[in-house]
Amino acid sequence: MGQTAAVANMKVNGVPIEDTFAEAFSMHMNRTLITAWDAEWARITALEATGFATSVIMAPAEAGIECTVRAEDTPDGRPGIRVIFATARKQDLKEQLLARIGQCVLTSPTACAYDATPSPKETYPIGKQLALFGDGYQVKKGPIGGRVLWLIPRMSGTFVVQESFGRTKGVAGGNMIYFCESVESGMQSGRAAVARIEEVEGAYTPFPGGLVGAGSKPGSRYKALRASTNEYFCPTIRALVDGTHVPTNCEFVMEIVINGLDEHAVADAMRVAIEEVCRHHGVLGVTAGNFGGKLGKYKIHLHDLF
């Protein structure tokens, strides 16, 4: 499969991989474990808690599902979903955790929340503050298995939440962009790639279903906008754009943005995603988005992934 970094025209499963890099940057992150009555409800709760968290261009956070956790591996012996929340400013992370766990997990029948942040640089008393919702009926327990917990009564039973949630530094903005013959080839390969990314510990995809349908570039001809459409990757206007990157036989372009707890996790997720999309018929080529190193300090070269 031509997977040699020294070869400029590298191919994976016959699909050309451009010799370029994805440009990534640092963000402040928390990893939270959400458990619930069953695996489906844990995922529903996780999707709600990570909603409206695609890009900090306009969203207040970049959040998404990291992975599924088996019942035997959770603190309360129930199925779980690990999620990761990220903000550009560390002072915003505490606010997002309070809002998202308080409004989306506490309110979700049977759901509970535990911190799962590795080697946190600092912690926030999220559970302690949410416990006030118990209006005097809340109970502090622990440490139990190294965790201090708050038990808060609610209509669906007891909401168990860890007292403190951690903050660490992570990497955001890893990405791949690929060209497809049709909507069908793009969507089918993209959804399969996101499923593979969920197998990579420490990585997640913040956009809807993990897929980006409107890639952007910094800035705009309109001063009020921080970002605008990346016209070089828009199939419908390729005839109008000098230097378009869209091949003539391409009708659909997909981007997958990947964040993670460290650069290694992001790179691993990019690799498995590229391998997966290149298994699908109708994928014409793979590249990545970067801005010449002006956006972030991390450069993840596609050829180095293999």
Over residues 87-145, the pLDDT tens digits come to 999 999 999 999 999 999 999 999 999 999 999 999 999 999 999 999 999 999 989 98
Q: Name 139's bridge partners.
A: 151
Quick: pLDDT tens for 28-48. 999 999 999 999 999 999 999
Q: What is the DSSP string of 204-241?
A: E--SGGG-BSS-EEE--SSTT-SEEE-GGG-GGGGGGS
Quick: pLDDT tens for 248-257. 999 999 999 9
pLDDT for the residue 291: 80
Angle between helices 183-197 and 263-277 (to 10 degrees): 140
Domains (ranges, CATH) in the chain?
11-24+170-305 (3.30.70.520), 28-168 (3.30.70.520)
Q: Which residues of 108-136 are buried (b: 16+ CB within 10 A; e: fewer)?
A: bebbbbbbbbeebeebbebbbbbbebbee
Q: What is the DSSP letter of 70?
A: -
Q: Which two tokens stand for residue 27?
A: 């963000």
Cα–Cα distances (Å) from 48 to 107, 208, 252, in that order, read 11, 12, 29
Question: Cα–Cα distance between 132 and 57 in angstroms, integer?
Answer: 33
Asked if the model's pLDDT at residue 2 lies above 50, the reply is no
Question: Cα–Cα distance between 280 and 19 in angstroms, integer?
Answer: 21
**Which position has the token pair 């402040």?**
28
Would you say the C-alpha torsion 226, 232, 235, 236 has a positive or negative sign? positive
**Which position has the token pair 């990545």?**
288
Question: Cα–Cα distance between 81 and 34 in angstroms, integer?
Answer: 5
Three-state secondary structure call for residue 56: coil
Quick: pLDDT tens for 226-243. 999 999 999 999 999 999
Quick: pLDDT tens for 161-203. 999 999 999 999 999 999 999 999 999 999 999 999 999 999 9
Q: Which two tokens stand for residue 240?
A: 């109008």
